[in-house]
Amino acid sequence: MGKVILVGAGPGDKELITVKGLKAIKEADVIVYDDLIDKDLLNYNKNAELIYVGKRKGRHSYKQEDINKILIEKAKEGKTVVRLKGGDPFIFGRGGEEILALKEHNIPYEIIPGLSSATALPALAEIPLTHRKVARSFTVLTAHIEDGEVDFTKFNGDTLVILMGITKLKKIVNDLLKVRDKKTPIAIILKGATKEQKVIRGTLEDILDKAKNIEPPGIIVVGEVVNILQKN
Ligand SMILES: C[S@@+](CC[C@H](N)C(=O)[O-])C[C@H]1O[C@@H](n2cnc3c(N)ncnc32)[C@H](O)[C@@H]1O
């Protein structure tokens, strides 16, 4: 029997993976990978079988059950399988579902966490998610749910970090304007930790004008911390 190692690749830049995650990649027989990982990571192992299971436009998109099946079958063949995911596998990454499937089939597994886009990208954009006397809590949420729409008025951390929200920016801003001041700072970090990273800063009042025609992937950060390091 082989095993499955669930590895978080970190966001964007390949150098944001952990030492342990990189070691697992180098030792893998099979690497099952998604979008949003730095594909250069795959060059660290020239011998592994590479299986892409992401959702790139125009290509067959794998259902979660198909991915689980691949992991189980390859491990049963005696292979060491690295399941490589962007950011941290347990933050909106469906890592939990894959581990449950492995448990059900008695497949040995290991978990190697990764830096999540939710915390690493604000840091790279010089936004501390907490800051003494300014923000004592932060809430990470997804803007994408399968059944219906998210009500963004319901989330009340000092700082909000919203994933999968770029195409829903208008609804996010309109909801937040009902519960937060219109001067509340907001930042949008697009293609974070890549050469094309772009950070757009504004307020709830003007961000829709500043951020026209933007495309995923991106995260949205809301709260006073957005500008705390911008002053002098
Ligand atoms: C399915 S979620 C996976 C999150 C991932 N597990 C993590 O911890 O970062 C995908 C979302 O993560 C965010 N994301 C991940 N990598 C990103 C990057 N390099 N730049 C901007 N946003 C990113 C975006 O909001 C994107 O829509």
CA-closest residue to ligand 1 atom 2: 92
Q: Please check the confidence at residue 58 and state whether its pLDDT lies above 60.
A: no
| pLDDT tens by residue, 70-116 | 999 999 999 999 999 999 999 999 999 999 999 999 999 999 999 99
* Alpha-carbon gap, residue 112 to 165, rounded angstroms: 26
Q: Decide: 93 in ligand 1 pocket, CB within 6 A.
A: yes
| pLDDT tens by residue, 138-180 | 999 999 998 999 999 999 899 999 999 999 999 999 999 999 9
Over range 56-74, report the average pLDDT.
86
Residue 202: in which H helix or E strand, if any? strand 198-203
CB 101 within 8 A of CB 122: no
Residue extents of the structural domains in the chain: 3-112, 117-227
Q: Do domains 3-112 and 117-227 have the same CATH topology?
A: no
Structure confidence at residue 8 (pLDDT): 98
**Mean pLDDT, the chain, integer:** 96
CB 40 within 8 A of CB 9: no
| pLDDT tens by residue, 36-46 | 999 999 999 99
Mind telling me the catalytic residues? 34, 55, 164
Please return the burial class of 230, using the count of CB atoms within 10 Å of its CB with bins 0-12, 13-18 and 19+.
exposed
CA of residue 78 to ligand 1 center, whole Å: 32
Q: Decide: 138 in ligand 1 pocket, CB within 6 A.
A: no
For domain 117-227, the CATH class is alpha beta
Q: Decide: 37 in ligand 1 pocket, CB within 6 A.
A: no
Structure confidence at residue 46 (pLDDT): 97
Q: The domain 3-112 is classified under which CATH number: 3.40.50.720, 3.40.1180.10, 3.40.1010.10, 1.10.600.10?
A: 3.40.1010.10
Residue 162: in which H helix or E strand, if any? strand 159-163
